Structure 1
Amino acid sequence: MTQQLLMIEDDARLAAMVGEYLRQSGYGFTHAGDGASGLAALEASPPDLVILDLMLPDMDGLEICRRIKGQASDSARPAVLMLTAKGDPMDRIVGLEIGADDYLPKPFEPRELLARIRAVLRRGGEAGGGDAAGGTHKVMRFGSLEIDRDARTVSVSGNPC
């Protein structure tokens, strides 16, 4: 199944360029030009990942990120990659602390954007742990460390922490 991406970005030319590049790379792509239509698109057809601009004409991208990350179900919560002209280190820190899975300042290289999208989706973002209809139960293992995201548990050598 093709992974679906939603870009919430007010620059239509940039969105068209990114959309074409990502479609050629095998992703489904939808564009929303403002926060309200982005939130509506999220409701209508939840994507695997949202590419989010912070400076939108009708609402702050940080507020959109808060709403996405505040959804009740982990399985319905898409990953968020912030793609914005706000590249100051403090802006990056705030974006990541609000809940973004990654942050890429503009201007950017399309290949780097693609690599970051792949990395976030590979890590699972929020949506990668399985689907609500009984998808895979994901446990990450690093040596003797086990992290069960669904059960929200951590254990070392089989002993709960």
Structure 2
Amino acid sequence: MPSDDRPRVLLVDDDVVLAETLADYLCAHGFDARPAADGTEARCILAGFHPQAIVLDLHLGTESGLDIADGLAARFDDAAMPAILFLSGAASPFERVLGLETTADDFLEKPISPRELLARLRGLLRRSGHPAAPARLMRLGAVAIDLSAQKIVHADGGEDPLGPSEFALLKCFLDRPGHVLSRDDLLERAPASDGEAADRSIDRRIARLRRKLERDGGNVIEAVRGRGYRLVADEGPTQGGSAQGGSAQKG
């Protein structure tokens, strides 16, 4: 889906792993999310990216989140000012009140639940008049994939939810359609949530995923002897949704 069609979010946090993890989660739920490690990087991104919401750590290593928010107020006019959601693990009551009374639209304490952050952002966008992230539907073989809700929709209307491990595996194949992915590749890109590390855990997980994807018939993921697995089903947008990529190229 083109980024212009998705709600845009900038995440500024000096915990780089957290910022990237949250950005990945939001992207999987229909946002165009960009991570930044500090105010300098955030300002560079803002030179070519106009977010509708900014998630901002209150305590950055070299710069206060309040100071960054004040600078944003000077950068944007009132109509274009992004919604601001502050994050903090140790904010004093004074800081919370000051943030909410000046530039912040919402406040979320660490540790953060990605699902709660998603809900808070959707609420902020609704209140500010921006559309919430729409459902992203794509066709994959005989089924439809709801990328926002992370579930499979069958021809008869039945649904199969995808667990985090299954969805991570599916994303590996969608990101590289037609390419053979080895078991080591898949273990690295989509580690098992239950801690399984053996190669054969991939076989078991893919078998479960294939049962859901191929319930309506057809071949979606095939085993390539001695090499791994690849996505072989055609992919594309469904009515009322759109996919991130075009047709899978078989190779």
Bin for the TM-score computed over the shorter chain:
0.7 to 0.9
Count of aligned positions? 127
Is residue 21 of structure 1 aligned with residue 25 of structure 2? yes
Q: Could you tell me how far 1:102 is from its partner in structure 2?
A: 0.5
Q: Could you tell me how far 1:94 is from its partner in structure 2?
A: 1.3
For 1:17 and 1:10, the matched residues in 2 are separated by 13
Is residue 44 of structure 1 aligned with residue 67 of structure 2? no
Larger radius of gyration: 2
* TM-score, structure 1 normalization: 0.72
Amino acid at match of 1:52: L
SS of residue paired to 1:18? helix
The runs of 5 or more residues in structure 2 that have no matched partner are 131-251
User: Structure 1 pair 100/115, CA: closer, same or farther in 2 (3 Å)?
Assistant: same
Instruction: Show the counterpart of 2:62.
Output: 58
The runs of 5 or more residues in structure 1 that have no matched partner are 129-161
For 2:97 and 2:118, the matched residues in 1 are separated by 21
Is residue 100 of structure 1 aligned with residue 75 of structure 2? no
* TM-score, structure 2 normalization: 0.48
After superposition, give the CA deviation of every residue in 1:8-56 in whole Å (9 maximum; x if it has no partner).
1110111121111101110001111111111222232111110000111
Instruction: Show the counterpart of 2:211.
Output: none
Instruction: Show the counterpart of 2:120.
Output: 116
* Contact 1:5-1:30 within 8 A present in 2 as well: yes
For 1:19 and 1:72, the matched residues in 2 are separated by 23
Amino acid at match of 1:50: I
SS of residue paired to 1:96? helix
Sequence identity percentage: 39
